[in-house]
Amino acid sequence: MAAVYSGTDAALKSLTYQHILSVEQFTPDVLEALFALAQSMDRQVAFGRIDQLLASKVVANVFYEASTRTDLSFQSATQRLGGRVISTAGGVHYSSVTKGESLHDTIKTIACYSDAIVLRHPTRGSAREAAAASDALRLAMHSPTPIINAGDGTGEHPTQALLDLYTIKDRFGENIDGLTIGFLGDLRNGRTVHSLIKLLAIDHCHVKVVCVAPESLTMPSEYVEFARSRQMPVEETDDLQAAIGQMDVLYVTRVQRERFVAQQLDDLSASVYGMPYDSLDSPRKDALRPLAELNAAQEYLSARDAYVVDPMMLSQARKEMILLHPLPRVNEIPEEVDTDDRAYYFRQVQNCLYIRMALLAAVLDCLPL
């Protein structure tokens, strides 16, 4: 049964001109109000009658990493609400970043031309750094330019978690107490599951989480502890076959190949030189790279096929279970599964739009009257 929300504007007002950096900024009240607004955005898009809430607003999309859904759904959300989007042609690869410009200077510049900045960056903590740069400029500007974290390395992806929780409630109703939610795959590097496990705990959902991952890719303890400290039970296993039968939601993630080399470089640097990779000089950095790349390739190959949710695996799952995936997928869910009623990941893709429309309207102080 789909959820029906009745959020209040007062809760949403608390998001006005706030940077959106982590799910930790949200409260159950704000989530309820945001989901109510997202639901109304869904209806408006369906009936083709959309308020031009963002008319006169300019949103900058700044992506230092590849993206399809996040980039385009933020663009679509802005434009459907009557706003405009700017970005450098061809992404940051054609901006002055290639000339060595710092993140600070880049953000301060873009903040002069836009009302909000949607930022994706490969370094954990970069969204917070960008927020500090934007704040530093605040004094000189008429209004602050909020940063929306669209994924910071292996850190967080708060807007994805918002739409993931919205999708779960879309399917099971607003009260999801008693559900068992499985996270599968590369839980070490997947920022979407880092944000979602925290958000479930923040929303006081009385759910059980089961983390299924190979030993090398388990959920970092900081997230498990965050959930447990808020009375959310978390089990950890590497045995999908044994665990799948109890799940109401199975959230699948891909193995994040692009993160493996960086992790290997950090590990090798610590063991060979006893210092962080970033603080090494160039010759030492270069010396570590071939071995790091070799180790990363081996690690990826052994993890890549660890779990495949195919029809055989799904035959052991509940009939009412839903299968989520933030996408892109590689080989962890074969396309033949898409016609199974439990495949819910393209509904998740649609919800990207409604949640981001609602969030932009709230952050830019453009809520419907």
Cβ 119 to ligand NCD, closest distance in Å?
13
Q: Which of 115, 121, 112 is nearest to 83 (CA)?
A: 115
Cβ proximity to ligand NCD: between 23 and 288 the closer is 23
* Torsions phi, psi for 314 (to 5 deg): -65, -25
Neighbours of 7 (CB within 10 A): 20
Cβ proximity to ligand NCD: between 72 and 367 the closer is 72
- The catalytically annotated residue of 120, 194, 254, 356 is 120
- The catalytically annotated residue of 49, 98, 99, 142 is 99
Cβ 256 to ligand NCD, closest distance in Å?
6
Cβ proximity to ligand NCD: between 82 and 122 the closer is 122
Cβ proximity to ligand NCD: between 45 and 327 the closer is 327
Handedness of CA 45, 46, 48, 49 (dihedral sign): negative
**70 in catalytic set:** yes
Cβ 41 to ligand NCD, closest distance in Å?
19
**99 in catalytic set:** yes
Cβ 157 to ligand NCD, closest distance in Å?
5
Q: How would you list the strands of the sheet with 249-252, edge to edge?
A: 234-237, 208-212, 180-184, 249-252, 322-324
Cβ proximity to ligand NCD: between 33 and 127 the closer is 127
* Torsions phi, psi for 65 (to 5 deg): -135, 160
Cβ proximity to ligand NCD: between 297 and 327 the closer is 327
Cβ 147 to ligand NCD, closest distance in Å?
17
Q: Which residues pair with 343 in a beta bridge?
A: 323
Residue nearest to ligand NCD (CB): 326
Which token pair is 305? 């096929």
Nearest 10 degrees: Cα torsion 111, 17, 156, 332: -90
Q: Which of 128, 106, 63, 43 is nearest to 350 (CA)?
A: 43
Cβ 349 to ligand NCD, closest distance in Å?
8
Which token pair is 93? 């690869």
Chain centre distance of CA 281: 33
Note the residues at the interface with ligand NCD (CB under 6 A): 69-70, 151, 157, 160, 191-192, 254, 256, 326-327
* Torsions phi, psi for 252 (to 5 deg): -95, 145
- The catalytically annotated residue of 70, 78, 145, 159 is 70
- The catalytically annotated residue of 19, 108, 121, 157 is 157
Cβ proximity to ligand NCD: between 111 and 118 the closer is 118
**120 in catalytic set:** yes
Cβ 254 to ligand NCD, closest distance in Å?
5
Calpha distance 228→248 (Å, rounded): 20
- The catalytically annotated residue of 69, 84, 208, 284 is 69
**69 in catalytic set:** yes
**138 in catalytic set:** no
Q: Which residues pair with 152 in a beta bridge?
A: 121
Calpha distance 123→9 (Å, rounded): 34
Calpha distance 272→43 (Å, rounded): 58
* Torsions phi, psi for 169 (to 5 deg): -70, -30
Please count the CA atoms within 13 angstroms of the CA of 193 that sit on its side-chain side.
Answer: 33
Active-site residue set: 69-70, 99, 120, 157
